[in-house]
Amino acid sequence: MKTEMALITENRQIAADTWKMVLKTTIASETGCGQFVQVQVPGYFLRRPISVCRVLDEEHLVLIYKVVGDGTARMAEMSAGESVDLFGPLGHGFPIEDRDVLLIGGGVGVPPLLETAARHIKAGHHVTAVLGFNDASGIILEQQFRELGCDVYTATMDGSAGTKGTVMDAIRQNDINEEYVLSCGPLPMLKAVSNAYQKGYVSLEARMACGMGACMGCVVKDNDGESLRVCKDGPVFAIGKVVL
């Protein structure tokens, strides 16, 4: 965990409202799957927490982010050759357990699952990925999961690609019977995943300030009523641990 000026080597749109930024930074060497970084966007006060999509090597990270407001819009305007102030790696990511895994991702929750897939495949495990999007124009990383060797299934809410409906519909339609799940995506999806599976982990998103556990801005409650910080105790939590 440190701050560093990272060099942008690539920053381009890859799908509707979705951008890919590649950064040259030594933070890459410390980053695990499911962790995130805080990006200082010029002209904006608070850093933007962005999950790490891929650790390319010891000094290159890939971030995939959605333009949701003024800050991320400004981030999308940055060019290769510019530097950006990065803080990370932050939080607890996905564990690599000695078993095959079903990855369930939704929208901009898909990116951190790519590095997670890569590490499981490298460890010799079979990886099934079910990826959900609103429509075909929002589909990202499908091909990259295939190239890693994952079995990939896609769902879109409007049926413009893959199964029409949610990731849960795609899992039913394709008779996917894996028991152990790692998931990241919108809250309704995480709730559905937590209802359907007992074993595995979900990664949460939250508005945060410090990103390192000091400010208590991003807390959630566990089932005993104890508070947990999404940024520091998470963003990845065991299924059933946190009240969603």
d(CA 125, CA 98): 8
- Please tell me what DSSP assigns to residue 29: G
Distance separating alpha carbons of residues 191 and 187, to the nearest angstrom = 6
**Residues 55, 58, 61, 62, CA torsion sign:** negative
Q: How far is the CB of 15 from another protein (least distance, A)?
A: 21
Binding flag, residue 213, another protein (CB under 8 A):
yes
- Contact present, 234 and 219 (Cβ < 8 Å): no
Residue 146 makes contact with another protein by CB under 8 A? no
30, 9 Cβ separation under 8 angstroms: no
Among 20, 120, 232, 241, binds another protein (CB under 8 A): 232
Q: Does 134 bind another protein (CB under 8 A)?
A: no
Bridge partners (DSSP) of residue 227 are: 221
46 binds another protein (CB under 8 A): yes
> What does the alpha-carbon distance between residue 155 and residue 145 come to, in Å, rounded to a whole number?
15
Does 212 participate in binding another protein (rule CB under 8 A)? yes
Q: Is 87 in the site for another protein (CB under 8 A)?
A: yes
Q: Using the rule CB under 8 A, is 50 a contact of another protein?
A: no
Alpha-helical runs (H) found in the chain: 70-76, 111-122, 142-148, 167-173, 187-196
> Which listed range, 95-103, 105-113, 168-176, 220-228, lies at the site for another protein (CB under 8 A)?
220-228
Find the binder of another protein among 73, 216, 238, 243 (CB under 8 A).
216
Is 75 near another protein (CB under 8 A)?
A: no
- Pick the stretch among 7-15, 131-139, 186-194, 206-214 that binds another protein (CB under 8 A): 206-214
Pick from 177, 210, 214, 213: which is nearest to 196 by CA? 177
- Residue 11: Cβ-neighbour burial (10 angstroms; 0-12, 13-18, 19+): buried
Determine if 39 is a binding residue for another protein (CB under 8 A).
no
Q: For the CB of residue 56, give the shortest distance to another protein in the complex, in Å.
A: 26
Q: Which of 139, 208, 228, 242 binds another protein (CB under 8 A)?
A: 208
Residue 20 binding another protein, by CB under 8 A: no
Report the interface residues with another protein, using CB under 8 A. Answer: 1-3, 40, 44-47, 71, 87, 206-221, 225, 227, 232
